[in-house]
């Protein structure tokens, strides 16, 4: 060993002892990319005895593909740089693992790079997780971009940071003209005033929705619902918010239809029996302060109308009677169909005189309804009524008393008004 070689050999043995205690595979390669040294973990990774490795080139040990991946990194490391590359390899008993190989120069005291070191890390789990994350992000990007609902992201200053394709289509504005601008400035003061309260509530951490009829739609007005969803960071701080707008037109219309079908009688469009019962119940709760009267109205001889004119004309008469009753009362009074040719009217009244007057007014209203049979066969009704709370304090009882009074009016000759259980019937005849 020459004098100049001695310190170098000494330095190397130091390094070699040191790298043996590091639990990562480390190799030292000469300028011909021959392995001149490796530590114990390296042998474990390579699953081969030292004599099968030392003196062999990387290509000889691991094959052409491995060398193709390693060669640029080796070249740069021999130029003095530290380089990383990733590749799949098998080590120990594990196959097809992602590894990161770091290649760095072994610089002699005179500055020459005599060899390079390689150190490998198993980063398989990290790579798989990273790939999954990237794939998920890419899917999410594609999803948000292509979802057919307008989508935005605004930061805490209400500056648009993301808009998707559908948003640009609906607004007729280009992403480049929207991004980086305050949404109020980008979309106009009027719209901002309409939406601002929802944006502000979302920034306070609430998820809110706003449903409205949008009239500037290509195929006429449509019901749209925008959701404002806060974007929380790990400390539950709202750093911005998402908005997504969906078309709820069909749904809203169907709900409205359903609500109406439950609330209203499908033939006459006055309130349904069920709604009337709800109204009666509500009125009874307030009856001690605001007395109410319930009128049970049953048409006289309606069967004959049906028999002589047919069911369709009969239906028209029912519709006209309902309209006549509705016109005979104030807007806050309730008119409903109990079933068949029976109607209910619920109205707040001052006293029994007021109720009597209204009953006669209703009777008058029904008598105004004409049929194709001509004036000789005017429609009439028998009306019974009961007062809350004077006559009954329970909804069903009130209905029953009004019904009983109506039957009494029928028995007394029809076309008249009867207050439950009291006095002589009042007749218009």
Ligand X SMILES: Nc1nc2c(ncn2[C@@H]2O[C@H](COP(=O)(O)OP(=O)(O)OP(=O)(O)O)[C@@H](O)[C@H]2O)c(=O)[nH]1
Q: What gap in Å lies between CA 370 and CA 252, rounded to an integer?
A: 38
Torsion of CA 420, 424, 426, 428, to 10 degrees: 140
Between 168 and 309, name the residue whose CB sits nearer to ligand X.
Answer: 309
Structure tokens at 343: 């109607």
Between 151 and 318, name the residue whose CB sits nearer to ligand X.
Answer: 318
Between 226 and 371, name the residue whose CB sits nearer to ligand X.
Answer: 371
Integer-rounded Cα Rg, in Å, for the chain is 44
Minimum distance between the CB of residue 166 and ligand X, rounded to whole angstroms?
A: 47
Minimum distance between the CB of residue 271 and ligand X, rounded to whole angstroms?
A: 16
- Number of C-alpha atoms within 13 angstroms, CB side, residue 265? 24
Between 245 and 382, name the residue whose CB sits nearer to ligand X.
Answer: 382
Beta strands in 300-396 (DSSP E): 334-339, 342-348, 381-388
Minimum distance between the CB of residue 342 and ligand X, rounded to whole angstroms?
A: 7
Task: Using DSSP bridges, classify how beta strands 222-232 and 292-299 pair: parallel, antiparallel or unpaired.
Answer: unpaired
Minimum distance between the CB of residue 307 and ligand X, rounded to whole angstroms?
A: 8
Q: What gap in Å lies between CA 142 and CA 90, rounded to an integer?
A: 35
Helices (H) and strands (E) in the chain, counts: 15, 16
Minimum distance between the CB of residue 320 and ligand X, rounded to whole angstroms?
A: 12
Q: What gap in Å lies between CA 319 and CA 327, rounded to an integer?
A: 12
Between 310 and 421, name the residue whose CB sits nearer to ligand X.
Answer: 310
Minimum distance between the CB of residue 316 and ligand X, rounded to whole angstroms?
A: 8
Between 8 and 400, name the residue whose CB sits nearer to ligand X.
Answer: 400
Which 8-state DSSP code applies to residue 257? H
Are 99 and 126 in contact by the 8 Å Cβ rule? The answer is: no
Between 40 and 269, name the residue whose CB sits nearer to ligand X.
Answer: 269
Minimum distance between the CB of residue 215 and ligand X, rounded to whole angstroms?
A: 38
Are 64 and 47 in contact by the 8 Å Cβ rule? The answer is: no
Between 175 and 267, name the residue whose CB sits nearer to ligand X.
Answer: 267
Between 185 and 304, name the residue whose CB sits nearer to ligand X.
Answer: 304
Using Cβ positions, the residue closest to ligand X within the complex turns out to be 314
Q: What gap in Å lies between CA 391 and CA 419, rounded to an integer?
A: 10
Structure tokens at 290: 């605001």
Structure tokens at 131: 């790939």
Minimum distance between the CB of residue 379 and ligand X, rounded to whole angstroms?
A: 10
The closest alpha carbon to 360, from 429, 315, 417, belongs to 417
Between 106 and 300, name the residue whose CB sits nearer to ligand X.
Answer: 300
Minimum distance between the CB of residue 267 and ligand X, rounded to whole angstroms?
A: 6
Between 216 and 312, name the residue whose CB sits nearer to ligand X.
Answer: 312
Q: What gap in Å lies between CA 243 and CA 164, rounded to an integer?
A: 11
Q: What gap in Å lies between CA 338 and CA 272, rounded to an integer?
A: 7
Minimum distance between the CB of residue 402 and ligand X, rounded to whole angstroms?
A: 15
Structure tokens at 72: 């640029």
Are 271 and 283 in contact by the 8 Å Cβ rule? The answer is: no
Q: What gap in Å lies between CA 381 and CA 402, rounded to an integer?
A: 14
Minimum distance between the CB of residue 193 and ligand X, rounded to whole angstroms?
A: 49
Are 293 and 385 in contact by the 8 Å Cβ rule? The answer is: yes
Residues that bind ligand X (CB under 6 A): 267, 298-304, 306, 311, 314-315, 318, 340-341, 410
């Amino acid at each position: 060993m020459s004098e100049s070689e001695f310190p170098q050999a000494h330095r190397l043995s130091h390094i070699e002892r040191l790298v043996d205690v590091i639990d990562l595979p480390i190799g030292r390669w000469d300028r011909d990319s021959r392995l001149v040294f490796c530590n114990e973990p390296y042998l474990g990774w390579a699953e081969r005895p030292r004599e099968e490795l030392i003196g062999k080139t990387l290509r000889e040990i691991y094959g052409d593909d491995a060398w193709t991946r390693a060669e640029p990194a080796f070249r740069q490391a021999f130029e003095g740089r530290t380089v990383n590359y990733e590749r799949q390899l098998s080590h120990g008993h594990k196959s097809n693992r992602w590894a990161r190989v770091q290649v760095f120069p072994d610089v002699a005291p005179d500055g020459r790079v005599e060899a390079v070191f390689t150190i490998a890390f198993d980063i398989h789990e990290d790579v798989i997780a990273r790939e999954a994350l990237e794939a998920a992000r890419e899917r999410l990007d594609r999803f948000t971009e292509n979802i057919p609902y307008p989508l935005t992201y605004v930061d805490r200053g209400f500056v648009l940071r993301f808009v998707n394709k559908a948003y640009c289509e609906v607004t007729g504005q280009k992403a480049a003209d929207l991004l980086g601008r305050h949404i109020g400035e980008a979309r106009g003061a009027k719209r901002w005033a309409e939406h601002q309260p929802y944006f502000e509530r979302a920034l306070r951490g609430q998820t809110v929705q706003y449903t409205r009829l949008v009239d500037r739609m290509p195929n006429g007005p449509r019901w749209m619902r925008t959701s404002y969803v806060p974007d929380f960071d790990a400390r539950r701080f709202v750093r911005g918010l998402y908005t997504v707008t969906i078309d709820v037109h069909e749904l809203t219309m169907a709900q409205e239809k359903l609500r109406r079908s439950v609330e209203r009688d499908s033939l006459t469009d006055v309130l349904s029996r069920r709604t009337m019962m709800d109204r009666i119940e509500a009125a009874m709760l307030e009856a001690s302060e605001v007395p109410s009267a319930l009128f049970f109205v049953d048409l006289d001889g309606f069967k004959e109308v049906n028999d002589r004119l047919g069911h369709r004309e009969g239906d028209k008469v029912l519709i006209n009677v309902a309209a006549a009753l509705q016109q005979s009362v104030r807007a806050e009074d309730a008119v409903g169909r109990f079933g068949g040719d029976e109607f209910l009217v619920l109205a707040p009244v001052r006293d029994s005189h007021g109720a009597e007057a209204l009953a006669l007014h209703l009777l008058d209203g029904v008598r105004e309804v004409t049929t194709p049979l001509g004036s000789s066969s005017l429609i009439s009704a028998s009306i019974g009524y009961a007062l809350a709370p004077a006559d009954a304090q329970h909804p069903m009882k009130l209905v029953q008393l009004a019904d009983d009074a109506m039957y009494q009016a029928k028995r007394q000759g029809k076309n008249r008004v009867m207050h439950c259980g009291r006095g002589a019937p009042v007749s218009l005849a």
